[in-house]
Amino acid sequence: MERATVIVAIDGPSGTGKSSTSKAVAAQLGLSYLDTGAQYRAITWWMVNNGIDIEDPSAIAAVAGKPEIVSGTDPSAPTITVDGTDVAGPIRTQEVTSKVSAVSAVPEVRARITELQRSIASGSENGIVVEGRDIGTTVLPDADLKIFLTASPEARAARRNNELKGADVHATREALLKRDAADSSRKASPLAKADDAVEVDTSDLTLQQVIECVVTLIEEKRAAK
């Protein structure tokens, strides 16, 4: 039986498991994968590298169209380049992490990146898992399945701290909550659960359990198509 294309939107705050879940689910089901946070990090990296004043939204807006961002959508080896330079490492620095919310709040930045995301999603042959903050609400409102992942701030901070060796868990928690507040309160497509999204609290679930839950939801959607 031929399988129908499926578009899956996975949103939620930092540390809820979006990237790990989306990559695993896409790999398991033969779908493409798009990390939209990496795109916002990439444009932020470019702004920092080019000396743009991050405090000045009009300065950011004026150059938002300049960097060329290319995302590779193979879930087993996702890539991201800016003007041909591999930025997979540099976009994960604390500096970029602390500045990305300010850059991603600028409407010209969002319009540009949203257009890129829609063209990647519509070009995916077998379907795609797209993860971010506003995929279900704004980027792909007609997605076949929308998931909104949540977890307690304590669980999220502990997970992030496992990655940042030697970091202070309280400082990590405060930084996460600050970014959540900025992302949720901005005017242009804030972090929010779509009305028709399925909410999954991952605080007490293993990554494997979250993956199985999402795979089951996708299989149900596919069967109903």
Ligand X SMILES: Nc1ccn([C@@H]2O[C@H](COP(=O)(O)OP(=O)(O)O)[C@@H](O)[C@H]2O)c(=O)n1
What are the residues binding ligand X (CB under 6 A)?
A: 14, 36-38, 40-41, 100-101, 104, 132-135, 179, 183
Among 216, 44, 214, which residue's Cα sits nearest to residue 131?
Answer: 214
* CA–CA gap between residue 17 and residue 8 (Å, rounded): 15
Minimal distance, residue 137 CB to ligand ADP, in Å: 17
Residue nearest to ligand X (CB): 37
Which span (90-98, 118-126, 136-144, 198-206) binds ligand ADP, by CB under 6 A? 198-206
Which residue in 6, 7, 17, 33 binds ligand ADP (CB under 6 A)? 17
| Residue 132 annotated as part of some ligand binding site | no
| Residue 166 annotated as part of some ligand binding site | no
Within 133-192, the residues that bind ligand ADP by CB under 6 A are: 159, 162-163
Per-residue string for binding with ligand ADP, 20-39, x by CB under 6 A?
A: x-------------------
Minimal distance, residue 22 CB to ligand ADP, in Å: 8
Residue 214 buriedness (CB in 10 A; 0-12 / 13-18 / 19+): buried
Among 31, 30, 28, which residue's Cα sits nearest to residue 9?
Answer: 31
Among 25, 46, 14, 51, which residue's Cα sits nearest to residue 156?
Answer: 14
Q: Which tokens in the block code for residue 113?
A: 């990146």
* CA–CA gap between residue 210 and residue 116 (Å, rounded): 28
**For every residue of 124-168, which 3-state class applies, written as one string?**
CCCEEEEEECCHHHHHCCCCCEEEEEECCHHHHHHHHHHHCCCCC
| Residue 132 contact among ligand ADP, ligand X, none, beta carbon within 5 to 8 Å by kind | ligand X
* CA–CA gap between residue 209 and residue 212 (Å, rounded): 5
Minimal distance, residue 209 CB to ligand X, in Å: 19
The verdict on 83 binding ligand ADP (CB under 6 A) reads: no
Measure CA 29 to chain center. 19
| Residue 207 contact among ligand X, ligand ADP, none, beta carbon within 5 to 8 Å by kind | ligand ADP
| Residue 40 contact among ligand X, ligand ADP, none, beta carbon within 5 to 8 Å by kind | ligand X
The footprint of ligand ADP (CB under 6 A) covers: 12, 14-20, 159, 162-163, 202, 205-207, 210
